[in-house]
Amino acid sequence: MSDEGDRGDDGDRPENKPPNADEDLTEHNSQQTQHAQQVFNRLQNNRIEHAYFAVDGGGATTTPLTGRILQEELSRIDELWVPPRQFADALAMLQDRHTVVLHGGARIGKRASACKLLMSLRTNPKIMSLPPHFSLESLAARKYSAESVYVVIDHLDDATTGYSSYILDVLAQKITDAGSYLVITAQFARQQTREASKLVFKWSPPDSTNLLAACLASFGPGNFDDNELHSLRGSAERASGPAEIVALAQRSLDVGITDAIASLESSAHDAVIEWICREPVPDEAFLTVATAFLEDAGADEFDNAFEKLRHRYTANYDAADSLDQPLRQSKKYFRISDALVEIDESGAHDPDYRQRVLRYRLRGAISPHHVVQNARAAYGSELWRPIEDWVRQIVEDGNADLGVRVARGLAALWKSSPSATESKYLEPWSRGDSSQRVTIAFTLWWLAADDDSASAALGYANRWLHQGTAAQRATAIMSLGGELGDRFPTESVRWLWKCQETAGAVIARFARQSLAELWNSLIIASTDEALKLLRFVNARLAELSAPSGNYRTLTRAVDTAAVMLTSHDSDTGWLLPALALEMQPTSAETLGNVWAAVLRNRPTNAEGVSALAETVDLLATRGGPTHLPLISSLGNSIGANLSEQERNDLRADLDEVLRQGPKRGTSKSEKSETLQQLINVL
């Protein structure tokens, strides 16, 4: 992994508080977590398809938030740039003091502004995004390179006390001495600045009309008449932020103004308000909120869960009163024109679902957050107490499919009321039983998927991992193996690696499995981070294998690498090394180095040899002879790191596998050719 952001943070040492290995912790369920990742990915993709305003205008939002900011993003910022009114003053201060802080609400374009400030001072800058959990003191203590410039997005420090002018001045001097620049963005959601500092700027979004005009000019002529342009400008003023204005302009050109405006965040919000003002009857109100927690669940599964909720809330009504009412019509509220819930039949033919099912969904661009936020404001305990009891029951039942969906509802609840959700769910459940911990880990995944809450998700994981109980550490470790790790890969890999090195036996096993799951997730995402993770492991193994290395630490590292090499992707059934080679052929040499370290330090490990043979078998299944150069590269790398005797032993083991014949769909000749190729190059 990158060394940027690697130094100067005392919170990154799990050994500061060794976990209690005797604490009652259920073993990590890898299959459950991998299945949850599948459900999570599917739900996220569905929401992107149904809600058009992700931060990038409709694409996936799971790009890493730390490390180098890609040129593609910088070019897009440059193309559509409209400066906020504070920009010139902030630029002058940054040029003079090399450090500024931009603070303001969510979704006002602080990230884009931070990048543009740095782009204004450097041509083609190398902008490194540092982790948001670094304290100001840690930022002042780390090293900086004149080759790079830096940002910290949604900084988490000083959540109650505000920024100290003294610490900011020390940090600014450190950046100046290094010949670099730093821009920090923060929401200051729960604090005021303790001391006024000229380095801190209260930020505002760019003018909506000007940004809309810039987008329309960039995306191409739309041939809109005056009335349509007036409607677009009015919608831009109601947009949740610059990203939504960009998406509004693009979508108006793609599908027309009417559909584009209907997909606005404000339109979805207004639809929920109108629904509440209609005063829906209890069945419809509970059904809608239940869908916000279990959206996209299969109809049968949802009906069973909803019946349990209905049993809870009807207990509060006089049964005699209901006798005079017509028999409740199943699904009758789906025929109300302004109902928020619909049964979607499109998923019945979607191969990703693997079975023909109808699914409950919120209508159009309405999200669980819209429903939860407004229903929480409109209704009291009469609605929410049964909902809370019902959510707890679902979690206790341990259904992973529903658990991922409940976690999304909890994430929506957090966005509406962070403090209450933290005290009622996140904190107690993060140290609760296994099903509660799994749900909270999934909740951090959902928070991490949204740029506005990703930093907060990392903050929870950081606190629980370094200051929490053993149960909370297990929760944090599980969260780092999924979406949260995808968004903050450098920090997640370092933390998980440190845990497998220094923690007690149970926590170390959790960390090993989560590291394998993170590698799996990064491979599927087809990012360079998967190869960086592999190179990180290879570098640590090489360092520990040196004469000065610690044998105990090396043994743990080899165990971790072995788990990675023998883990499978739950969706395809492929071994992770085979998946990595298939999707990132350049990983062959590094993968061979890691495999050699495992074979060299665990010579009797039949599982490792079997996994190597299975990897070759899988590659033959996929590409046959076309994969022979890749297999040769892998074999050369393994052989170069083994002694002659070790190579002879490995050849003998592989010869035995060859005699046993193929395990999969490959023919014996295909397997013989590919496996023999590996044996020949060793």
Maximum separation of any 2 CA atoms in the chain, in Å:
88
pLDDT reading at 356 higher than 80 = no
Q: How far apart are CA 111 and CA 203, in angstroms?
A: 11
pLDDT of residue 97: 96
Q: Supply 418's token pair.
A: 């962070």
pLDDT tens digits, 434-457: 889 999 999 999 999 998 899 999
Q: What distance in Å separates the CA atoms of residue 675 and residue 48, rounded to the nearest whole number?
A: 43
The architecture in CATH of the region 83-202 reads 3-Layer(aba) Sandwich (3.40)
According to the model, what pLDDT value does residue 670 have? Answer: 53
Element (DSSP H or E) covering residue 32: helix 30-50
| Contact in structure between 47 and 495 (CB atoms under 8 Å) | no
pLDDT at 83 over 80: yes
pLDDT at 220 over 70: yes
Given a cut of 60, is residue 500 above it in pLDDT? yes
What single DSSP character describes residue 12?
G
Helices (H), 325-432: 368-378, 381-397, 400-416, 418-421, 427-430
The pLDDT confidence band at residue 603, using thresholds 50, 70 and 90, is: low
Percent of the chain with pLDDT over 70: 80
577: confidence class by pLDDT, cuts 50, 70, 90 = very high
Pairing relationship of beta strands 149-152 and 182-186 according to DSSP bridges: parallel
User: Scanning the structure block, which residue is given the tokens 């190729």?
Assistant: 677
CB 240 within 8 A of CB 265: yes
Q: So what's the pLDDT on residue 68?
A: 92
* Per-residue confidence (pLDDT) for residue 27, from 0 to 100: 53
Residue 319 has pLDDT above 70, yes or no: no
Contact of 47 with 412, CB cutoff 8 Å = no
Question: Distance between CA 260 and CA 255 in Å, rounded?
Answer: 7
Q: Is the pLDDT of residue 144 over 80?
A: yes
d(CA 603, CA 127): 44
pLDDT for the residue 312: 84
Instruction: Give the pLDDT confidence score for residue 256 in this predicted structure.
Output: 87
pLDDT of 328 above 50: no
The mean pLDDT of the chain is 83
pLDDT tops 80 at residue 219: yes
pLDDT of residue 567: 93
pLDDT single digits (tens) 402-435: 888 999 999 999 998 899 999 999 999 999 998 8
pLDDT at 46: 53
| Token pair belonging to 623 | 């590409």
Residue 225 CB burial class (10 angstroms; 0-12, 13-18, ≥19): exposed
Exposed (0-12), middle (13-18) or buried (19+): which is 11, by Cβ within 10 Å?
Answer: middle
pLDDT digits (tens, 9 = 90+) for 364-395: 888 899 999 899 888 888 889 999 999 999 99
Contact 235, 224 (CB under 8 A): no
* pLDDT score, position 18: 38
Q: Which H helix or E strand runs over 583? A: helix 576-583
Kind and range of the H or E run holding 100: strand 99-103
Helix 400-416 / helix 451-467 crossing angle, nearest 10 deg: 110
> Which of 151-155, 223-227, 620-624, 652-656 is the least confident region?
620-624
Pairing of strands 67-68, 127-130: antiparallel
Structure tokens at 120: 């204004």
Distance CA(137)–CA(619), nearest Å, equals 49
pLDDT at 60: 38
The model's pTM is 0.85
Q: Does residue 309 contact residue 362 with C-beta atoms inside 8 Å?
A: no
**pLDDT tens track for 516-555:** 999 999 998 877 899 999 999 999 999 998 888 788 999 9
Q: Report residue 461: phi and psi, to 5°.
A: -60, -40
Assigned token pair, 70: 């890609």
Distance in angstroms between the alpha carbons of the first and the last residue of the chain: 29
Q: What is the mean pLDDT of residues 106-110?
A: 92
- Res. 11: pLDDT tops 60: no
Say how many C-beta atoms besides its own lie within 10 A of residue 674's C-beta.
26
Q: What is the mean pLDDT of residues 602-614?
A: 80
pLDDT of residue 530: 94
Strand 127-130 relative to strand 149-152, pairing: parallel
Query: What digits encode the pLDDT tens for the residues 20-70?
Result: 433 456 555 555 666 666 666 666 655 544 333 333 333 334 688 999 999
